[in-house]
Structure 1
Amino acid sequence: MPTGPPVFDGQRLRQARFAVAAVFCVHGAVTGSFATRIPWIQDHAALSAGQLGLALAFPAIGASVAMPLAGAISHRFGARTALRGLLALWTLSLTLPALAPNLVTLCLALFVYGATSGMSDVAMNALGVEIENRLDKSIMSSLHGMWSTGALLGSAGGTLAAHMDSDARVHHLIAATVLTVTGMVACRWVLDLRSTPEDEPPPRFALPPKSALLIGGVGFCAVFAEGASLDWSAVYLEDVLDTSPGLAAASTTAFALTMAIARLLGDRIVDRFGAVRCVRVGGVSATLGGALVVFAPNPLVAMGGFALVGLGVAVVVPLAFAAAGRSGPNPSQAIAGVATITYTSGLIAPSAIGAVADATSLVASFGLVTVLAFGLVLGASVLRTGDRRTAPAAGAGTDAGAGTAQPVPSVPDGLKSPSGD
């Protein structure tokens, strides 16, 4: 009797979707929990602003070095086990930065923090793309919306802990414990995709394919605009438009909330209009928003501009990951390539904005953001790479061991599900 990869029924795929959404939320909550306690960590390690800036480069360095390993780990241990282990390492690494007594140890801690973040990021995005392909509808935007929701929840908890003047070592230990347990429970229901004996393992380190570089370029533009707006919007409103500190800070929170809502609602729009059209229209929105910021006569107009930037770039990175996952025979490798480029963009955006502002003005810096936002309009067509492969209808088949082979979409790096899942 012929055998083949399993067909997952609709209920099983829905469970897997909710499980991966919870994983995205946990991942974001770690980031939010850490970011709110950076001032405490700086004081604890007795760092100057320049030393802190150097240390904060190490998460991106660690992620860039480690992300190419994610595909090999998933191939060796299976998608579920790999995600469970990598996510646990990421949540537990939250405890390390607050323990660092000086610059050297903080850099080492943040390197590990970034490495585990990047590997778990690739693993969860690869599973998200696989579920999206099997469901034959867009889910990546809402998954990244759940990441943003987790970041907001983690930030809220960190803000409360900071307001209570609690020790960040205690706060992060409690947060890491709760998030680790939550992540392990969620991983119980993700798809357990495994390699078959005839599959060759992906290379541990390899340059991303050309398609991933092009897709990553679009992601670079979006993440640059996002990072610049998040990190500099409050400063822009205070320094350029003489806004009160409270209103300036509120604009940053509103920007993050706008992006989270747009991502949570983005899947329906993407399914109706397609990725290319959504990114192109988003690029127009972000470009218009950047222009409003540059020419804003008052704070309200600038805040409206930042909101348009957020709306315009919100779904770009999720769609870039989805396109990478469909761009070639090694989705995890392509996703890792796109993730590396976007991490790099997030790393250089704040410093690039500062450098341009020092050389010219902060207004000119957001002129650069506007130009990059227009790059989304020009580059949107590269997200046309591949179509979502049609998954069998719910109830059309069974899990592995059902007998007759059914046509199903291919899975990352030759991963296939073992019997029983």
Structure 2
Amino acid sequence: MTSALSRPQLVAWRTAIFAIFFATGLGFASWAARLPAVKVDLGINDFEVGVLLFVSGATSLIGLSLANLIVVRWGARRGMFFTILTFAAGVIIAGLGVQVAQSYAVTAVGLSLMGLGMSSTDVMMNVEAAAVEQAFGRTLMPLFHAFFSLGTVAGAGVGIAMAAGGVGVGLHLGAVGIAVIITGLLALRAVPVHDAVPTDEAAAPGRGERLRQSLVVWRDPRTYAIGIIMLGMAFAEGSANDWLTIAMVDGHAETEAVGAVALTVFSVAMTVFRILGGPLVDRIGRVWTLRVLSVAAAVGLVLFILAPSLPVAFVGVALWGAGASLGFPLGMSAAADDPTKAAASVSAAATIGYLAFLCGPPLLGWISHSIGILPTLWIIVGLIVMSGLASGAAKPIAGSKVGAGHAAH
């Protein structure tokens, strides 16, 4: 029972969820950083790389759907024990598939496990993060997501070092997978078992009831409104990750090195604002924070598209990154306001966000092939505006202890 936890236990719980966010970011980025080596070692082309990424994306959607049922049946702590192991096993198998077996099929199996384990862990760690927020009575979700971002930075950095040192993909990803397992198992020891989880078969809801609980949130208009917030900001974030460097090179005629610097500026701005976002939300509220940052993201992207000079383009990139930083975490926080259906709501909201991350890059690529990359980015401006207009849906529900801002107290 979380209300009976002592202050040290609450701090340990918070630290544990920080660690899980960091570990998932580390594992994800470690694989992404070695994609060039994967391509060479397996002797595959860009299309076949795309198929591998599609396999991971498809199983991610399955993991999102299963996460709520796992939480309802076993609770987030027990559920994450299996999903973190699944994710780490996928990382290890993918590495072995590339370097040891040199098998496209084995690598695909590893990626399918990675996608399944990561997405289901994503839902559960966000449910736990929302519970930590409520226990502390202040906004912490952006900081949790900042730890994921820090994990991706660490994973990318280690990946660069491993590639420069000639370390094989199998050895690298094997070590990362083991590190994820150790971190996850140690962290889960500090995660409490919540009273809502049934402890015996008689108390457990039947399969039909669990399915009904997982689907009822899709009939709630608030789910879709929160989904719009996350959709717009997921497109804003994902488009930068996948197309910013190309837009800088092809759209603004800069070098690849300048494109890499631009992506770094975007990532740093996003991470910094995720670290600082909690106090801002607690001051002005979740809704106004989303509105202000949607304006910042839209203005930043417009500046980048129309930039007459490189300094203006970098200012636009920084505003774009800062503005897009809190849409996804605050959407997750809003979806989890009601603890009785947090898992189902987070799962539904995350599904919408993941669809944007998965479908957005190829859709933008197809459109940019016809009209150019900079004109294509105007679509993202429209989606950011749509996200800002839907921000009212993030207003905390009655009984929630976070997200209202000081003006409401």
Q: TM-score, structure 1 length as denominator?
A: 0.87
The answer on whether the counterparts of 1:63 and 1:340 sit within 8 Å (CA) in structure 2 is: no
Of 269, 273, 278, the residue aligned with 1:262 is 273
Per the alignment, in what secondary structure is the counterpart of residue 200 of structure 1?
A: coil
Q: Deviations over 1:168-189 (max 9, x none)?
A: 0110001111221122111111
Q: Give the structure 2 partner of residue 154 of structure 1.
A: 155
CA distance in structure 1 between the partners assigned to 2:309 and 2:43 by the alignment = 38
Q: Give the structure 2 partner of residue 235 of structure 1.
A: 246
**1:166 partnered with 2:163:** no
**1:144 partnered with 2:145:** yes
Per the alignment, in what secondary structure is the counterpart of residue 203 of structure 1?
A: helix
Q: Deviations over 1:294-323 (max 9, x none)?
A: 111223222221211110110111111111
Look up the equivalent residue of 1:113 and give its one-letter code: M
Of 285, 288, 301, the residue aligned with 1:290 is 301
CA distance in structure 2 between the partners assigned to 1:390 and 1:380 by the alignment = 19
Deviates more, 1:8-17 or 1:20-29: 8-17
Q: Give the structure 1 partner of residue 68 of structure 2.
A: 71
The answer on whether the counterparts of 1:219 and 1:341 sit within 8 Å (CA) in structure 2 is: yes
CA distance in structure 2 between the partners assigned to 1:253 and 1:302 by the alignment = 13
CA distance in structure 1 between the partners assigned to 2:310 and 2:382 by the alignment = 22
Once the 2 structures are TM-superposed, how far is the Cα of residue 105 of structure 1 from its aligned partner? 4.1
Per the alignment, in what secondary structure is the counterpart of residue 95 of structure 1?
A: helix
The answer on whether the counterparts of 1:262 and 1:314 sit within 8 Å (CA) in structure 2 is: yes
The residue correspondences of 1:349-364 to structure 2 (distance < 5 A) are 349-364=360-375
CA distance in structure 1 between the partners assigned to 2:304 and 2:120 by the alignment = 36
CA distance in structure 2 between the partners assigned to 1:314 and 1:388 by the alignment = 26
Q: Give the structure 2 partner of residue 381 of structure 1.
A: 392
CA distance in structure 2 between the partners assigned to 1:95 and 1:388 by the alignment = 43
CA distance in structure 2 between the partners assigned to 1:325 and 1:246 by the alignment = 41
Q: Deviations over 1:25-53 (max 9, x none)?
A: 11111111111001111222222112212
CA distance in structure 2 between the partners assigned to 1:47 and 1:214 by the alignment = 41
Of 173, 197, 205, the residue aligned with 1:200 is 205
Larger RCO: 1 or 2 (CA < 8 Å, sep 6+): 1
Deviates more, 1:281-290 or 1:89-98: 89-98
Q: Deviations over 1:176-231 (max 9, x none)?
A: 11221122111111122251364636625844423222211210110111010111
CA distance in structure 2 between the partners assigned to 1:74 and 1:229 by the alignment = 33
Q: Give the structure 2 partner of residue 394 of structure 1.
A: none
Q: Deviations over 1:88-135 (max 9, x none)?
A: 221231122231545444433322211111111111111111111121
CA distance in structure 1 between the partners assigned to 2:117 and 2:395 by the alignment = 30
Of 38, 60, 64, the residue aligned with 1:41 is 38
CA distance in structure 2 between the partners assigned to 1:103 and 1:212 by the alignment = 38
The answer on whether the counterparts of 2:337 and 2:396 sit within 8 Å (CA) in structure 1 is: yes
CA distance in structure 2 between the partners assigned to 1:290 and 1:154 by the alignment = 27
| CA RMSD, Structure 1 to Structure 2 (Å) | 2.0
The answer on whether the counterparts of 1:83 and 1:123 sit within 8 Å (CA) in structure 2 is: yes
Q: Give the structure 2 partner of residue 341 of structure 1.
A: 352
Of 298, 322, 342, the residue aligned with 1:331 is 342
CA distance in structure 1 between the partners assigned to 2:83 and 2:3 by the alignment = 25
**1:369 partnered with 2:370:** no
Per the alignment, in what secondary structure is the counterpart of residue 343 of structure 1?
A: helix
Q: Deviations over 1:350-399 (max 9, x none)?
A: 112211111111111111111111112211101114156349xxxxxxxx
**1:57 partnered with 2:54:** yes
CA distance in structure 1 between the partners assigned to 2:261 and 2:176 by the alignment = 25
Q: Give the structure 2 partner of residue 252 of structure 1.
A: 263
Q: Give the structure 2 partner of residue 214 of structure 1.
A: 225
CA distance in structure 2 between the partners assigned to 1:97 and 1:365 by the alignment = 34
Once the 2 structures are TM-superposed, how far is the Cα of residue 141 of structure 1 from its aligned partner? 0.5
Deviates more, 1:190-199 or 1:44-53: 190-199
Of 319, 343, 355, the residue aligned with 2:330 is 319
Per the alignment, in what secondary structure is the counterpart of residue 287 of structure 2?
A: helix
Q: TM-score, structure 2 length as denominator?
A: 0.90
Look up the equivalent residue of 1:334 and give its one-letter code: S
CA distance in structure 1 between the partners assigned to 2:40 and 2:24 by the alignment = 26
CA distance in structure 2 between the partners assigned to 1:251 and 1:5 by the alignment = 43
CA distance in structure 1 between the partners assigned to 2:204 and 2:335 by the alignment = 21
The answer on whether the counterparts of 2:25 and 2:148 sit within 8 Å (CA) in structure 1 is: yes
The answer on whether the counterparts of 2:60 and 2:115 sit within 8 Å (CA) in structure 1 is: yes
Once the 2 structures are TM-superposed, how far is the Cα of residue 241 of structure 1 from its aligned partner? 1.4
CA distance in structure 1 between the partners assigned to 2:20 and 2:177 by the alignment = 14
**1:18 partnered with 2:15:** yes
Q: Deviations over 1:117-170 (max 9, x none)?
A: 111111111111111112111110100001101111111111100111221011
The residue correspondences of 1:124-139 to structure 2 (distance < 5 A) are 124-139=125-140
The 3 A distance-change label for structure 1 pair 95 and 377 is same
The 3 A distance-change label for structure 1 pair 298 and 97 is farther
Q: Deviations over 1:26-85 (max 9, x none)?
A: 111111111100111122222211221222122221111122222322333333222222
Per the alignment, in what secondary structure is the counterpart of residue 138 of structure 1?
A: coil
Higher share in helix: 2
The answer on whether the counterparts of 2:93 and 2:109 sit within 8 Å (CA) in structure 1 is: no
Aligned-residue sequence identity (percent) comes to: 23
The 3 A distance-change label for structure 1 pair 232 and 387 is farther
